[in-house]
Amino acid sequence: MAEDKEREEGQERPSRPVTAAARRERRGTARPAARKDADGKSAKTPAAKAGSAAADRKGRPTPARDRAKDDKGSIFARIVRFLREVVAELRKVIWPTRKQMITYTAVVLVFVAFMVALVAGLDLALGKGVFWLFG
């Protein structure tokens, strides 16, 4: 309703930016593409400097890891570490609310009921067709 009034008056709202870059540009906080030195030339980034060092190391093999196979610790220490990591991962989970769980459960039950009816209908139809054909 409010949009119709604005259109009638000739005032259209500007479209909302879709991408993050468009939002930054609209806010006026867009970051410059590259830094410039005092003389106006673009400065080399640390990544570009590291690229030349990586080219020097290219022919060498990857260094071996320092971990020894027997440095795992006791079985109890490994179990405790495993359980701590499980708890840490479970804290990261976004658990659904009760309303969401009821909705998801209802959707699954309706889908399962539909699939059961579909398979039963196809079974009945194919059974009758085979019985009619071979009688």
Confidence of residue 60 (pLDDT cuts 50, 70, 90): confident
Q: Does residue 133 fall inside a structural domain?
A: yes
Q: Does residue 105 fall inside a structural domain?
A: yes
Q: Does residue 66 fall inside a structural domain?
A: no
Q: Does pLDDT of 83 surpass 70?
A: yes
The number of domains in the chain is 1
- For residue 135, give its domain range: 97-135
The pLDDT assigned to 11 comes to 56
**Residue matched to tokens 């080399």:** 44
Structure tokens at 106: 């209802």
Give the count of beta carbons closer than 10 Å to the beta carbon of residue 22.
Answer: 13
Q: Does residue 80 fall inside a structural domain?
A: no
Q: Does residue 13 fall inside a structural domain?
A: no
Q: Does residue 82 fall inside a structural domain?
A: no
Q: Does residue 14 fall inside a structural domain?
A: no
Q: How many whole angstroms separate alpha carbon 11 and alpha carbon 6?
A: 5
**Residue matched to tokens 């400097």:** 49
Q: Does residue 103 fall inside a structural domain?
A: yes
